[in-house]
Amino acid sequence: MTGTHAFGATEPPPALLARPKSAARHLYDLVGAPLRLALLPDAGSESLGLTSLRAERMAAVLVELRGRVLDVGAGDNLLVRLYRREAVRLRLDPVDAAASVGVDVHDWGGGCVIVRSSAALPFGDGVFDTVCFVACLNHIPERAAAVREAARLLRPGGRVVATMIGRVVGVVGHKLWWYSEDKQREMHHEEKWGLDEREMLELFESADLAVEKIDSFVYGLNKLYVARRR
Ligand SMILES: C[S@@+](CC[C@H](N)C(=O)[O-])C[C@H]1O[C@@H](n2cnc3c(N)ncnc32)[C@H](O)[C@@H]1O
């Protein structure tokens, strides 16, 4: 599996990542909601100046990044690329951004390290400050082992930052998102369309991670989770 076609070759421009959104941007995004939530791929929304779904989740996660980051299920490595691009504006450390890395089992381009499984990753204990799972835990068949692996890779006090849609939003969304990456590959029987909050909390608990924050974004359709290694 190679190529960026499922993700789009461009990056969301800084204006679409700025938070909080201005009143004008809120209004424009609301008027354009049918286009950006269902009809257009991310790059198409962005070309109309609308905040894409990928820009929404990247903006939610970028402000939570601390130190050296591992992004699991990184797709085209957009988060790490944006971390490097936006580090100065967000007052994050460019050296940490440069040392950050994305991993995925498929090669979508963008410079990820390609791995066989997220249950056993090629890094030492406690070497990351933040481990991210952005829109991917539902797609990772070995998700419980992957979250435990994240806990191993985090320094004490380090944090997991994850986004996830619920099951109902996931079933409806994946019918609408004709461009999503799962259409470009075979689905594993253990993949889910989304994970509910209860399932996410069980995953963190089974890895002995303490949940610190749960926020919603995209009109409550998506959730951000932050959990700390004790
Ligand atoms: C919906 S995409 C999200 C990509 C990226 N995080 C983003 O937000 O744009 C889900 C990703 O999970 C990846 N994936 C599927 N199985 C995986 C596994 N076992 N370990 C790591 N990543 C996996 C897919 O290849 C895909 O890149």
**Residue 227 in contact with ligand 1 by CB distance below 6 A:** no
Please report the pLDDT score of residue 5 as a whole number: 57
161 alpha carbon – ligand 1 mean position (Å):
15
130 CA to middle of ligand 1, Å? 17
Ligand 1 pocket, residue 81 CB under 6 Å = no
Cβ of 132 less than 6 Å from ligand 1: no
Check pocket membership of 138 for ligand 1, CB cut-off 6 A: no
- Amino acid (1-letter code) at residue 6: A
Q: What is the pLDDT, as a whole number, of residue 8?
A: 72
User: Which residues does 32 contact at the CB level (< 8 Å), separation at least 6?
Assistant: 45, 48, 50
Which pTM value belongs to this model? Answer: 0.95
User: Ligand 1 mean position to 104 CA, how many Å?
Assistant: 6
Per-residue pLDDT of the chain (230 residues; tens, 9 = 90+): 444 457 877 899 999 999 999 999 999 999 999 999 999 999 999 999 999 999 999 999 999 999 999 999 999 999 999 999 998 888 888 999 999 999 999 999 999 999 999 999 999 999 999 999 999 999 999 999 999 999 999 999 999 999 999 999 999 999 898 888 888 888 899 999 999 999 999 999 999 999 999 999 999 999 999 999 99
Q: What is the pLDDT of residue 3?
A: 46
* Atom 25, ligand 1: residue with shortest CA distance: 106
Confidence at residue 147, expressed as pLDDT on a 0 to 100 scale: 98
* pLDDT for the residue 12: 96
Residue identifier of the C-alpha nearest atom 18 of ligand 1: 140
Q: 105 C-alpha vs ligand 1 centroid, how far in Å?
A: 8
48 CA → ligand 1 middle, Å? 26
Q: Is the CB of 75 under 6 A from ligand 1?
A: yes
CB 89 within 8 A of CB 69: no
Output the 3-class SS for the chain: CCCCCCCCCCCCCHHHCCCCCCHHHHHHHHHCHHHHHHHCCHHHHHHCCCCCHHHHHHHHHHCCCCCCEEEECCCCCHHHHHHHHHCCCCCCCHHHHHCCEEEECCCCCCCCEECCCCCCCCCCCCCEEEEEEECCCCCCCCHHHHHHHHHHHEEEEEEEEEEEECHHHHHHHHHHCCCCHHHHCCCCCCCCCCCCHHHHHHHHHHCCEEEEEEEEECCCCEEEEEEEEC
